[in-house]
Structure 1
Amino acid sequence: MQAIGQQEHLLTVDDLVALPERPGIRYELHEGKLVEMPGAGGIHAAIVVRLVLLLHQFVTSRRLGFVFGDGLGYILRRNPDTVRIPDVSVVRRERVPAGGIPEGFWPGAPDLAVDIVSPHDRAEEVHERVRDYLGAGTRLVWVLWPKSRTVTVYWPDGTARELGPDEKLTGGDVLPGFEVSVSELFLVPAEESPGK
């Protein structure tokens, strides 16, 4: 608890970079405040790989841009700084900096950000991340809910739509022509795990 009259110290992107690594823990910044992100489980990781493969094949075959898996931080805002790490993201070719893919954090928002909800995520935290992406210029956000096998799609105009397992998820104007059945994103059935 901070004392009355004492101002909270807000962290910057440079402070985030300087933090010592801890196995299984990643950090994001939300308006200068450190957000600890526990490591994800096996189902989560399998969904990330599945989606990266689907998007990579589509995006590279059409030379639309770049697909990134879990781990790339995006600087969404400065003063106070906000850095988010989507589970999967796409940056269109025309938005890649002149110097190419940056070595560190990406300056700006992805065109598509994907958040796969983990058991430890609270709904308000998920909505906060969605607001951060859209507020920074992300054109499309997909939130995947593994337990219900649904996807919520968010657009910058504030609209959202939930898609059930039998519906199709499309890339809209970010990835025109991309389409996949929602159920295909979650084809990591527990019954195929060893020992079942």
Structure 2
Amino acid sequence: MATQTKLVTAEELFNMPDDGYHRYELVRGELRKMAPPGLYHGEYAGNTYLSLGNYVRANNLGKTYTEIGFLIGTDPDHVRAPDAAFISRERLEAIGEGPGYFPTAPALAIEVISPNDRLTRVNE
């Protein structure tokens, strides 16, 4: 007898208590535990975010974010948190900002791939 995985919604993920160590993403309704990134990952992601943010601010293009959830699919819910992301000023004005996950994909998402990341999981 096969067991079914209980699907989790974006709202349930958002309201999960923080365990202080892991972060989670939601792939087609299934929780994916993300291990803390290593030193090189943090350096590359940080430098990328800073460079992107400096450019976006200097040109008044919108806002940059790091490690925030984007609801990129529903039924079942799909929430990803890229290392760096950009949302245009126009899109922010149209959609607005609020609590919870941003309700759509960013204009640009950057994910630093770690040596232990499997390509199939990254592409999901």
TM-score computed with the length of structure 1 as normaliser? 0.59
What's the Cα RMSD here?
A: 1.6
Residue 29 of structure 2 corresponds to residue 32 of structure 1 = yes
* Equivalent of 1:50 in 43, 47, 58: 47
Please point out which of 4, 10, 18 is paired with 2:15.
Answer: 18
Alignment of 1:23-172 (within 5 A): 23-69=20-66, 71-98=67-94, 100-128=96-124
Quote how far apart the aligned CAs of 1:100 are: 3.5
In the TM superposition, what is the alpha-carbon distance from 1:103 to its structure 2 partner?
2.4
Measure how far apart 1:7 and its partner are: 4.1
| Greater RCO (CA < 8 Å, at least 6 residues apart) | 2
Cross-structure match for 1:175: none
How many residues are aligned here? Answer: 124
CA positional deviation for 1:80: 0.4
Structure-2 residue corresponding to 1:8:
5
Q: Deviations over 1:6-55 (max 9, x none)?
A: 54321101211232212221001111011111110111111122111111
Structure number having the greater strand percentage: 1
Structure 2-normalised TM-score? 0.90
User: After TM superposition, what 4+ stretches of structure 1 lie above 4 angstroms from structure 2?
Assistant: none
- Greater gyration radius: 1
Q: Report the more deviating stretch, 99-108 or 79-88.
A: 99-108
- Mind listing any 5+ residue stretches in structure 1 that lack a counterpart? 129-196
* 1:98 to partner: Cα distance: 4.5
Query: Structure 2: which 5+ runs fail to align?
Result: none
Q: Partners of 2:48 and 2:36 in 1: how far apart?
A: 18
CA positional deviation for 1:99? 6.7
In structure 2, distance between residues paired with 1:72 and 1:23 = 16
Instruction: Give SS of 1:90's match.
Output: strand
**Paired residues of 2:49 and 2:83 also in contact (CA < 8 A):** no
- Is the Cα–Cα contact under 8 Å of residues 5 and 30 in structure 2 kept in the other structure? no
